[in-house]
Amino acid sequence: MKKVRSYRLAVFVSFMLMAGCSPGLHVTDQVQQEDHANEIRRTLPRDEVSAILASGFYTISERALSTVSVRQLGLEGMRGLATIDPEISIVETDGVIKVWYGDQWIKSVIEPLAYDSESWADAVYEVVQAVWFYSSDVAATNAERIYEAVFDAALSNLDIFSRYAGSHEAEGNRDRREGFGGLNMTLHKIDERFLVNRVDRDGPAYEAGVRKGDMLIMVNNEAVIGHSLHDVNEMLRGKVQTEVALQIERPSTGITQEVFAWRELVIAQTVWADYDDGVLTLRVARFNEKTLSSLSQDIEDAVLMHGEALKGIVLDLRGNPGGLLKRAVQVADLFISGGRIISTKGRHPDSFEIFEADPRDITNGRAVVVLLNGKSASASEIVAAALQDRQRAVIVGSSSYGKGTVQSVQRLPNDGEITITWSRLVAPSGYSFHGLGVRPSVCTSGIKYDKDRGPALSESNGSDLLTRWRTVGLDDRQGRKQLRQTCRPDSSKKEIDMAVARNLVLDPGLYQRFTGSTTLATLAQ
């Protein structure tokens, strides 16, 4: 799998600015303006702000799926300052950018070259510096709010998945994707106290002696009372292999003691397994760094423990919003013996990739049923489309969300990040499911489940529908919308889905019929 290249922007190219002083400024006004200039230099250091803006502009212009110039990003970014103060307006005429505050013209800037990210970043800074003197809202803000206003506006004309995250939000995103240094325990705040309501038996907190039901009193000699749950969780987190001292009280004994634990890499659980009468159900909440290893272990354990009694697997991806592309590819690879899994293509040369499966099927050919609903997106759709197109699984549920694009995440110098849509996903059969979704072979949308009679499968004109699904044009929005309505997206997790899945797994003849891709199934009472 190719690594995304990171770009560091360290050299800044100067450019000429045509600045106009506001007419009629008195000496007192000039002194105040100089004071404001000194203040903005302290609050928003030019080199730091320009470096972050330039890095973001360069990333977006280079990697975006649609062609966009740095000029477009810079102009829209300047206009985004109006979200801080609506009195700010930007007018571009014949290569000159005029900055207005209300009905007063305050500065003019000559446009830099269209693809010069450093110069456009400096130009945005010049605009911020100009309005700082006039706008109390801008003067009262901080660098992070400036980045948010500029990048949100710059990205607004692309797509809903391209976005900016500040350092705090980006840290949370990275924690969910990659994990964080922690103790593998969770807290629940009751009034002003913090109850330990879960401790992982394999985690550092349990090894140090912390148990479910304990009350956390202090972290590194700092009392937790009066703090928010978020703040206390931040106190518990830190670099991997660093020590943290905890003072806990055990209500059952009334004893308070201090224990010491070493932080380890904590990656959120995403997989839950359940075995019942020949069927292994694997619920996957999202795709992170731990998903593949968890699924592999659960399947291997079930095969070892149950042997031939294990008839098949239900992979429940309902409500799964996606996650890491490479993990989705690897999960699909668990079930497929060689051949295409998915391919990607975009504007940037590095966005063209083909992902192939290795020859091993970890399930040894056992039946696989995938559950989808209207909230199954992105990585979930990669797995479902690959298994369906390769006739390796029966898809049950409703049409999925239809997010058939890949986002590249670029870390910025302020530890924030730009997420930019940079390629489209193409299923093995050649169709893009963006705005369309993956079509279940067994559609339960709009069907009520009769527990007494159970689900009955009936076949409809599936071959024609599936052909149309795979050949409808990407730009044919009306056609794609109509096709989605043949199995309307349903965001619920319906009991009938699991009932149908079990029937398919336990009935080899039925399963074989619906993996052939020659029929499309609907459900009737």
Q: Reply yes or no on whether the pLDDT at 523 is more than 70.
A: no
pLDDT at position 518 over 60: no
| DSSP conformation letters of 257-300 | EEEEEE-EEE----EEEEEETTEEEEEE--B-TTHHHHHHHHHH
* pLDDT tier at 524, thresholds 50, 70, 90: very low
pLDDT digits (tens, 9 = 90+) for 220-259: 999 999 999 989 999 999 989 999 999 999 998 989 999 9
Residue 332 vs residue 514, higher pLDDT? 332
Dist. CA 479–CA 501, nearest whole Å: 29
* pLDDT tens figures, 267-313: 888 999 999 999 999 999 999 999 999 999 999 999 999 999 999 99
Would you call 39 helix, strand, or coil by DSSP? helix
Decide if pLDDT at 28 tops 70. no
**Of the candidates 279, 280, 299, which has an alpha carbon nearest to the alpha carbon of residue 291?**
299
Instruction: Answer yes or no: are the C-beta atoms of 192 and 158 closer than 8 Å.
Output: no
Q: pLDDT > 90: what percent of the chain?
A: 75
| 359-402 pLDDT per residue, tens | 999 999 999 999 999 999 999 999 999 999 999 999 999 999 99
Give the span between the Cα atoms of 125 and 112, in whole angstroms: 13
Answer yes or no: are the C-beta atoms of 315 and 383 closer than 8 Å.
yes
Helices (H), 452-494: 462-471, 477-484
* Rounded Cα gap, residues 500 and 451, in angstroms: 12
Q: What is the pLDDT of residue 465?
A: 81
pLDDT of 23 reads 42
pLDDT score of 460 more than 80: no
